Amino acid sequence: MIHSLFLINSSGDIFLEKHWKSVVSRSVCDYFFEAQERATEAENVPPVIPTPHHYLLSVYRHKIFFVAVIQTEVPPLFVIEFLHRVVDTFQDYFGVCSEVVIKDNVVVVYEVLEEMLDNGFPLATESNILKELIKPPTILRTVVNTITGSTNVGDQLPTGQLSVVPWRRTGVKYTNNEAYFDVIEEIDAIIDKSGSTITAEIQGVIDACVKLTGMPDLTLSFMNPRLLDDVSFHPCVRFKRWESERILSFIPPDGNFRLLSYHVSAQNLVAIPVYVKHNISFRDSSSLGRFEITVGPKQTMGKTVEGVMVTSQMPKGVLNMSLTPSQGMHTFDPVTKLLSWDVGKINPQKLPSLKGTMSLQAGASKPDENPTINLQFKIQQLAISGLKVNRLDMYGEKYKPFKGIKYMTKAGKFQVRT
């Protein structure tokens, strides 16, 4: 099971260590540093590193490496999932997860970690249970604690921990009862030179924010549940009901949680909401290259595409670029060779474009690789897969809650090859 945890910042300092069994010397991280040195970028550090006596499993998030040390055969996914859960918990507790925040709250962090694992076995990882055990710091509570001498450690056994619904605590009370659901879809796609789709898939999630009194039992039904053939549920969802009736039936956790994530694969036709027209040419003889891209809407179901951002990693041979955008701001960093163009909204009547020249290294042969264009965008009030919620009902409680559903489509890893 998980032996120890080290937190390492991007400059290679270990700024926190926690051991659940015997103490493992921090020199074990030297193997990690070696791997880190070999990898050109932090993202490329391999997640599983063997050392003579231990294995190091790491995740890299918020510019921090979370390195777990294990000694015996343990499912690595279990460790990595757990590490991600640790990061999520920190974020939940402190709003952001950064070295500064962790150092500022080191005692709480330590107490939380101790609650999450016992002898390397996960103990409590549900945020609402943890929060009952160790109360998250707030300014008010800190002040109160200082004056009254009370603590931020709960002294009662969390009620939810052993109930049939471990994710929900009892005795929840709200004056305004509300339940909001966000259907968010991300399109991952690779578009080739000629504009045809090589692969496209949709990763969708339904995130919920439920603030309801008591023990409400919710059902959520869809207009077109057939779209969902590849789904992962929050443990609260009753699987049998889904299998037989295609209805989500659940007692929700209190607060924010991810109800469901789903995947609409390449087999089904995935609509591509934007296109990119590009003309990037290097010539062998000249030290100037031409650069022109235009972004336009494609299948948007009549909605506006906004928050468009174009980034591209230019070849090493490009010294500088002189470009004029028809709208938005653009920057080119001659050191990292990263071009980024913040386009904003796409107006279908007047398509945004970015044109100009590239100055290339004189005398060098033309670059072998063509830059790939990375696209970000957002479309409000649209789930590109066509998924629609039919209705949300509540049983078990008497009051009438406010209900709301929002849809949004975003670009995930959306790449256009040139």
Partner 1 sequence: MTDSKYFTTTKKGEIFELKAELNSDKKEKKKEAVKKVIASMTVGKDVSALFPDVVNCMQTDNLELKKLVYLYLMNYAKSQPDMAIMAVNTFVKDCEDPNPLIRALAVRTMGCIRVDKITEYLCEPLRKCLKDEDPYVRKTAAVCVAKLHDINAQLVEDQGFLDTLKDLISDSNPMVVANAVAALSEIAESHPSSNLLDLNPQSINKLLTALNECTEWGQIFILDCLANYMPKDDREAQSICERVTPRLSHANSAVVLSAVKVLMKFMEMLSKDLDYYGTLLKKLAPPLVTLLSAEPELQYVALRNINLIVQKRPEILKHEMKVFFVKYNDPIYVKLEKLDIMIRLASQANIAQVLAELKEYATEVDVDFVRKAVRAIGRCAIKVEQSAERCVSTLLDLIQTKVNYVVQEAIVVIKDIFRKYPNKYESVIATLCENLDSLDEPEARAAMIWIVGEYAERIDNADELLETFLEGFHDESTQVQLQLLTAIVKLFLKKPTETQALVQQVLSLATQDSDNPDLRDRGYIYWRLLSTDPVAAKEVVLAEKPLISEETDLIEPTLLDELICYIGTLASVYHKPPSAFVEGSRGIVHKSLPPRTGSSESAESPDAAPSGAPPSEQPAVIPTQGDLLGDLLNLDLGPPVSGPPVATSSVQMGAVDLLGGGLDSLMGSTSFTAPSTVVPASLGAPLSGGLGDLFDLAGGVGTLSGSYVVPKTVWLPAMKAKGLEISGTFSRQVGAISMDLLLTNKALQVMSDFAIQFNRNSFGLAPAAPLQIHAPLAPSQTVEISLPLNTVGSVMKMDPLNNLQVAVKNNIDVFYFSTLYPLHILFGEDGKMERQMFLATWKDIPNENEAQFQIRDCPLSADAVSSKLQGSNIFTVAKRNVEGQDMLYQSLKLTNGIWVLAELRIQPGSPSFTLSLKCRAPEVSQYVYQTYETILKN
- Which residues from 194-253 bind partner 1, rule CB under 8 A? 198-199, 201, 203, 229-235, 239, 243
Q: Mention every residue, 6+ apart, whose C-beta is less than 8 A from residue 49.
A: 31, 32, 35, 55, 56, 57, 58
SS3 184: strand
Cβ-contact 2, 120 below 8 angstroms: yes
CA 252 from centroid of its chain's CA atoms: 22
Would you count residue 363 as binding partner 1 (CB under 8 A)?
A: no
Beta-bridge partners for 360: 318
Instruction: Among 105, 213, 294, 376, indicate the residue that binds partner 1 (CB under 8 A).
Output: 105
Q: Which stretch binds partner 1 (CB under 8 A): 44-52, 168-176, 353-361, 387-395?
A: 44-52
Question: Quick check: helix, strand or coil at residue 360?
Answer: strand
Q: Which is nearer to partner 1, 57 or 383 (CB)?
A: 57
For the segment 57-96, give every residue that binds partner 1 (CB under 8 A). Answer: 57-60, 71-78, 80-84
How far, in Å, CA of 23 to CA of 11, rounded? 24
- The reply on whether position 27 binds partner 1 by CB under 8 A is no
- Minimum Å distance from CB 165 to partner 1? 10
Nearest approach, Cβ of residue 272 and partner 1 (Å): 14
Which residue, 11 or 267, has its beta carbon nearer to partner 1?
267
Residue from the set 22, 176, 196, 324 that interacts with partner 1 by CB under 8 A: 22
> Per CB under 8 A, which of residues 306..345 are in contact with partner 1?
313
Minimum CB separation of residue 323 from partner 1 in Å reads 22
Which residues, 281 to 300, sit near partner 1 by CB under 8 A? none
Q: List the one residue out of 15, 67, 5, 75 whose CA is nearest residue 36.
A: 67
Q: Is 26 in the site for partner 1 (CB under 8 A)?
A: yes
Site string for partner 1, 365-404 (x = CB under 8 A): ---xxx-x-x------------------------------
- DSSP 3-state of 73: coil
Tell which positions 138-197 bind partner 1, by CB under 8 A.
139, 142-143, 146, 149, 151-157, 161-162, 164, 166, 188, 190
Among 10, 12, 37, 48, which residue sits at the site for partner 1 (rule: CB under 8 A)? 48
Cβ neighbours of 54 (radius 10 Å): 18
Q: Which residues contact 17 (CB under 8 A, 6 or more apart)?
A: 4, 5, 6, 7, 26
Token pair for 188: 């991952």
On whether the CB atoms of residues 204 and 183 are closer than 8 A, the answer is yes
Q: Which residues contact 373 (CB under 8 A, 6 or more apart)?
A: 276, 278, 293, 310, 311, 312, 415, 416, 417, 418
b vs e for 220-245, b when ≥16 Cβ sit within 10 Å of the residue's Cβ?
bebeebebbeebebbebbbeeebeee
Question: Of the two residues 269 and 301, which places its CB atom closer to partner 1 in the complex?
Answer: 269
Least CB distance to partner 1 at residue 102 (A): 9
Q: Answer yes or no: are the C-beta atoms of 339 and 311 closer than 8 Å.
A: yes
> Which range of residues in 280-288, 364-372, 383-391, 403-411 is near partner 1 by CB under 8 A?
364-372
Q: Which CB sits closer to partner 1, 52 or 302?
A: 52
The SS3 call for residue 8 is strand
Phi-psi region of 386 (alpha: psi -120 to 50; beta: other; left: phi over 0): left
- Give 53 or 226: the residue with its C-beta nearer to partner 1: 53
Among 265, 279, 320, 390, binds partner 1 (CB under 8 A): 265
Residue nearer to partner 1 on the CB measure, 11 or 72: 72
What number of chain residues touch partner 1 (CB under 8 A)? Answer: 101
- Least Å distance, CB 79 to partner 1, is 8
In the set 4, 8, 17, 99, which binds partner 1 (CB under 8 A)?
A: 17
- Name which of 246, 254, 153 is nearest 212 in CA terms: 254
Q: Does 261 sit near partner 1 (CB under 8 A)?
A: yes
